[in-house]
A and B are shown apart, each in its own frame.
Chain A
Amino acid sequence: MKVTITEQDEIAVVEVTGDIDSKTAPEFERNAKLATEKSQKIAIDLTNVEFMSSAGLRVLLMVFRNIKSQNGKVILVGVSEDIQDVMSTTGFINFFTIVGTLDEALVILKQD
């Protein structure tokens, strides 16, 4: 798994490539935390993530709780259908806005 963080117009973009499971979740969490220190507007791009375990979903929720407590916003980008299924069945999906492309996420985050 690889994580990169970039900033675009005060929005932190976290881009993940590879699987997020209990082995890689701690690194994903470290990076996500870094992003929350940079901005309260966060886009997490999961277009290149095929599998996300329970540990990965929990990192997403931690980011959401952290950002919400600062009145910020998190948007998920490019979540695969399989992962969306699991998120829906386990209730995680209710917390998130999910869009197809990074551009869409940036438009929404800029409006806020």
Chain B
Amino acid sequence: MATDIRIDYYPTHEQQGIKFRRGHALPFGATMVPNGINFSIYSSEAIDCTLVLFERGEAQPFAEIRFPEEFRTGNVYSMIVFDLDYERLEYGYRMDGPFKPEEGHRFDKSIILSDPYAKAIGGRDTWLATPNWDNIYPYRSRLVFEDFDWENDHPLETPIEDLVIYEMHVRGFTQHPSSNVKNPGTFAAIRSKIAYLKELGINCVELMPIYEFDEWENSKENPVTGGLIVNFWGYSTVNFFSPKAGYAATGKFGMQVDELKTLVKELHKAGIEVMLDVVFNHTAEGDHRGHTISFRGIDNKTYYMLTPEGYYFNFSGTGNTLNCNNPVVRNMVLDCLRYWAADYHIDGFRFDLAAILGRDQNGAPLSNPPLLESLAYDPILAKCKLVAEAWDAGGLYQVGSFPAYGRWAEWNGKYRDAIRKFLKGDEGLVGEMAQCIQGWPDLYYYRGPTASINFIACHDGFTLYDLFAYNEKHNEANGEGNNDGGNDNHSWNCGVEGETEDPYINQLRHKQIKNALSILMVSQGVPMILSGDEMGVTKNGNNNTYCHDNELNWVDWNLLEKNADIYYFAQRITRFRRAHPVLRSRTHFQHRDYVGSGFPDVSFHGTQAWEPNFDASSRCLGVMLDGAHAKGGTIEDDSIYIAMNSHYDALYYELPQLPNGKSWHLAVNTDMPTGDDIYDIGKEPRLEDQGRFLVGGRATVILVGK
């Protein structure tokens, strides 16, 4: 057989009955090779390295093999070990070197270190199963099979402007008993909700962190509720290449990789893209008081940004900062994203606190950050969506100025704030609303509207419902005396703080949610909604629920019935967006008629047609999008007129006159009761009065001209 003719398929060394030989420096990590496993790891400052091998779950290793000096190439230690049971194997390393924190070195060979390139981690196989706290090696590197049968699957490459993104927490989405699924809280359970996602009309799920993290990190008893405070959100990575085993129904069998890949494949079959929220700004190792899991013991000075005294810079707000623009770390990030794109068919990435990725090794912002540039020009990532959260906890705020290389889009925090303030009735917002509707050309003039990921609520902050039910945050359950979480919520409780029986207030809250969804779905750029907002989920006014594995974070599916009108509306407004290409332009409006239709591509109006009022006291804006200019004039669409009124009184809006043969039809009127608030595509009733429309107080109206 051809596989037997290579010399390196046979061992040259033996120790404790284990046979091994010199390995291959590349690829890094542990890789199956004929007859054995190739191990490769690098450290710039270690003086010695030992491979530690465990049988799965055993307390003590069955072998420790020191890398002979001749197995080292440069700073890379590599070795092939023969006849290992790759499915039952857990491996780690001991690194010897100086422990001199003031010089940046924290080597400690008494600790067994996890491989930064491991493809799965053992130790947290089932969510919140009590770990053995005395385990000498708690986060164990494992191998995975990489021969998944993708059949004809391929990342969907949906144009970004056509996406409707749905931000979701894997466990939170189905853990509530009302979700009625077989394996609640898992990748498999999301699969059983695919029909629901299609019905809702979204076409991209953005999964909050799914890289292996430890839900037990910083866990403690909740002083307020008596329950357990855990790391629920997972913005604290233990390993960048491994999916979270506790999110897989089959994690206890070590099959989380197959389960996640099957989810991606099935979502793709349903036309739904998968975006991952990735956290490259810091790791789970914390600051100088944190425990050593991997990076710190392998190459502290390489992986982390350190102060001159050897402490950790804390631009992430979580203890340490990954040294992303160190060439070695940059390559690891690149290897990681390539792996997820190529092996998991991931369609895009959203980078948590991405401004950190543009800081140099001393923390100063770079004008041309090598990591961001590498990602933008990488051949494997070429069709992936790259989305930045363009700020960090160190005060760097780059919305509109994030280094984009023609590729990067960003979470538009300004969009979120402007819409919130407008809807609560603040003055002086009409100008910003015009920017919001257009994909904010003032911020993204050169990058186009697709640079703007538009959202009004996300995991961080109030849910859409809470935005209209609470003036203030109510974070007591987080155990920090309500001092955590942001205070700039721009929210309005509609008259009563929290739940109320008052039907007028409840109706107003529902109307405000529909206003928000309407404006979001007709804005140029890329809309994103938070999972559960389509049925009015509440977190009881808590705007920072990172630590709760309970109803605060679990989508309560009973709300589909309780808030049936919101869901009815949400399903249709997503379809409205997807039915109208004029809402999804790749390029900015030109404010002129370049196809000869008699109308500019976009025009602004007030209560008088063609006379927008941008005064500080104005709360009214009408926008007309000319259907003949859809997608730069290449597609003929209906014209669309949007009337937004955040004044408390109803006002007549004079309508721009359509050309002969066309007339205005009512698609959305959030002032009307359910059933009459939004109409199915093609079933919009023709307006009797084509001259003007009475827009209710705090209401949004959308008309189609056809």
Q: Is the CB of A61 within 8 A of B253?
A: no
How many whole Å from A37's CB to the nearest CB in chain B? 15
Q: Does A30 contact B (CB under 8 A)?
A: no
Q: Does A29 contact B (CB under 8 A)?
A: no
The 9 closest A-B pairs by CB, nearest first: A91-B262, A22-B87, A90-B258, A89-B188, A89-B249, A22-B85, A55-B87, A89-B250, A90-B259
CA distance A53 to B249 in the complex (A): 14
Interface residues of B in 253-267 (CB under 8 A from A): 253-255, 258-259, 261-262, 265-266
In this assembly, does A86 line the interface, its C-beta being within 8 Å of a C-beta of chain B?
yes
Contact A61 B149 (CB under 8 A): yes
Task: Please measure, in the bound complex, the distance between the C-alpha atom of A22 and the C-alpha atom of B85, giving whole angstroms.
Answer: 7
Q: Are A91 and B86 in contact (CB under 8 A)?
A: no
- Residue numbers in A under 8 Å from B688 (CB-CB): none
Q: Which residues of A contact B (CB under 8 A)?
A: 21-23, 53-55, 58, 61, 65, 86, 88-92, 95
Assess whether B261 is in contact with A91, with CB atoms less than 8 Å apart: yes
How many inter-chain contacts with C-beta < 8 Å in the A-B complex?
A: 49
User: Assuming the A-B contacts A90-B250, A91-B258, are A54 and B149 also in contact, with contact meaning beta carbons closer than 8 angstroms in the complex?
Assistant: no
Candidate in A54, A58, A95 with the most chain B CB atoms within 10 angstroms = A54
B85 touches A23 (CB 8 A): yes
A86→B88 contact, CB < 8 A: no
Flag if B259 contacts A53 (CB, 8 Å): no
Q: Which of A21, A23, A86, A95 is in CB contact (< 8 Å) with B250?
A: A86
B259 / chain A contacts, CB cutoff of 8 Å: 89-91
Partner of B88, one of A22, A58, A89, A92: A22
Task: Answer whether residue B652 sits at the interface, using C-beta atoms and an 8 A cutoff.
Answer: no
Kindly state the separation between the CA atoms of A30 and B85 in the bound complex, as whole angstroms. Answer: 17
Q: How far is the CB of A84 from chain B (nearest CB, A)?
A: 12
Q: Which of B248, B254, B255, B261 has the most CB of A within 10 A?
A: B255
- Residue contact B87 to A89, C-beta cutoff 8 Å: no
Docked complex Cα distance between A93 and B255 (Å) = 14
Which residue of chain A has its CB nearest to the CB of B265? Answer: A91
- B446 interface residue, CB < 8 Å from A? no
Q: Which of A21, A22, A23, A92 contacts B258 (CB 8 A)?
A: A92
Please list 26 pairs of residues, one from A and one from B, whose beta carbons are closer than 8 Å in the complex, sorted by A's number: A21-B87, A21-B88, A22-B85, A22-B86, A22-B88, A23-B85, A23-B88, A54-B87, A54-B145, A54-B253, A54-B258, A55-B87, A58-B147, A65-B149, A86-B253, A88-B188, A89-B186, A89-B255, A89-B259, A90-B255, A90-B258, A90-B259, A91-B259, A91-B262, A91-B265, A95-B149
Label chain B's interface by main secondary structure. Answer: loop
Distance between A74 CB and nearest chain B CB, rounded to angstroms: 14
* One of B145, B261, B262, B265 near A58 (C-beta < 8 A): B145
B-chain residues with CB within 8 Å of residue A92 when the two chains form the complex:
258
Given contact pairs A22-B85, A53-B253, A90 touches B145 in the complex (Cβ within 8 A): no
Contact residues of B between 76 and 128, Cβ < 8 Å to A = 85-88
Cβ of B119 to closest chain A Cβ, rounded Å: 13
Rounded to whole angstroms, the CA-CA distance of A53 and B183 in the bound complex is 19
Residues on the A chain within 8 Å of B149, using CB: 61, 65, 95
- Residues of B contacting A21 with CB < 8 Å? 87-88
Q: Which of B176-195 touch A at CB < 8 Å?
A: 183, 186, 188
Please report the C-alpha to C-alpha distance between residue A54 and residue B249 in the assembled complex, in whole angstroms.
14
Closest B residue, CB atoms, query A25: B87
* Chain B residues whose C-beta falls within 8 Å of the C-beta of A58 in the assembled complex: 145, 147
Per the bound structure, the CA–CA distance linking A53 and B262 in Å amounts to 17
With CB as the reference atom, state the residue of chain B lying closest to A62. Answer: B147
Q: 0/1 per residue, B527-542, Cβ < 8 Å to A?
A: 0000000000000000
A89 contacts B145, C-beta separation under 8 Å: no
Instruction: Closest A residue to B187 by CB, please name it.
Output: A89
Complex-state Cα separation, A86 to B256, whole angstroms: 11
Which residues of chain A have C-beta atoms less than 8 A from B262's C-beta? 89-91
Besides A53-B254, A54-B255, A90-B255, 19 more A-B contacts (Cβ < 8 Å) are: A22-B85, A22-B86, A23-B88, A53-B87, A53-B253, A54-B145, A55-B145, A65-B149, A86-B250, A86-B255, A88-B188, A89-B183, A89-B248, A89-B250, A89-B255, A90-B258, A91-B258, A91-B261, A95-B149
Bound complex: CA A86 to CA B186 (Å): 13
Chain B residue nearest in CB terms to A89: B188
Q: How far is the CA of A91 from the CA of B149 in the complex (A)?
A: 9
Max count, chain A CB within 10 A of own CB: residue among B88, B149, B183: B149
Complex Cα–Cα for A53 and B143 (A)? 14
Report chain A residues within 8 Å CB of B261. Answer: 91
Cα-based distance from A91 to B191 in the complex (angstroms): 11
- Please give the distance in Å from A30's CB to the nearest CB on chain B: 13
Q: How many angstroms from the CA of A86 to the CA of B248 in the assembled complex?
A: 11
Tell me the chain B residues, 133-175 only, with Cβ under 8 Å from chain A.
Answer: 145, 147, 149
Expressed in whole angstroms, the minimum distance between the Cβ of B55 and any Cβ of chain A is 11
In the bound assembly, the distance between CA atoms of A78 and B467 in angstroms comes to 54
Residues on B with C-beta less than 8 A from A91 are: 258-259, 261-262, 265-266
Residue of A nearest to B149 (CB): A61
What residue of chain B has the Cβ atom nearest to residue A52's Cβ? B253
Residues of B contacting A53 with CB < 8 Å? Answer: 87, 253-254
Q: Is the CB of B254 within 8 A of A54?
A: yes
A72 to B: closest C-beta gap in Å: 17
A90 and B258 CA atoms in complex are apart in Å by 5
Question: Complex: how many Å from CA A90 to CA B85?
Answer: 21
| Contact partners of B255 in chain A: CB under 8 A | 54, 86, 89-90
Taken together as a complex, chains A and B put the C-alpha atoms of A89 and B147 apart, in Å, by 17
In the bound complex, what is the Cα–Cα distance between A49 and B541 (angstroms)?
A: 52
Task: Please report the C-alpha to C-alpha distance between residue A23 and residue B261 in the assembled complex, in whole angstroms.
Answer: 25
- Residue interface bits B405-416, CB-to-A below 8 A is 1, else 0: 000000000000
Say how far B174's CB is from chain A's closest CB, in angstroms. Answer: 13
Contacts of B183 in A (CB 8 A): 89
Q: How far is the CB of B298 from chain A (nearest CB, A)?
A: 28
Interface string of B262-274 (1 = CB under 8 A from A): 1001100000000
List of A residues within 8 angstroms of B87 by Cβ: 21-22, 53-55
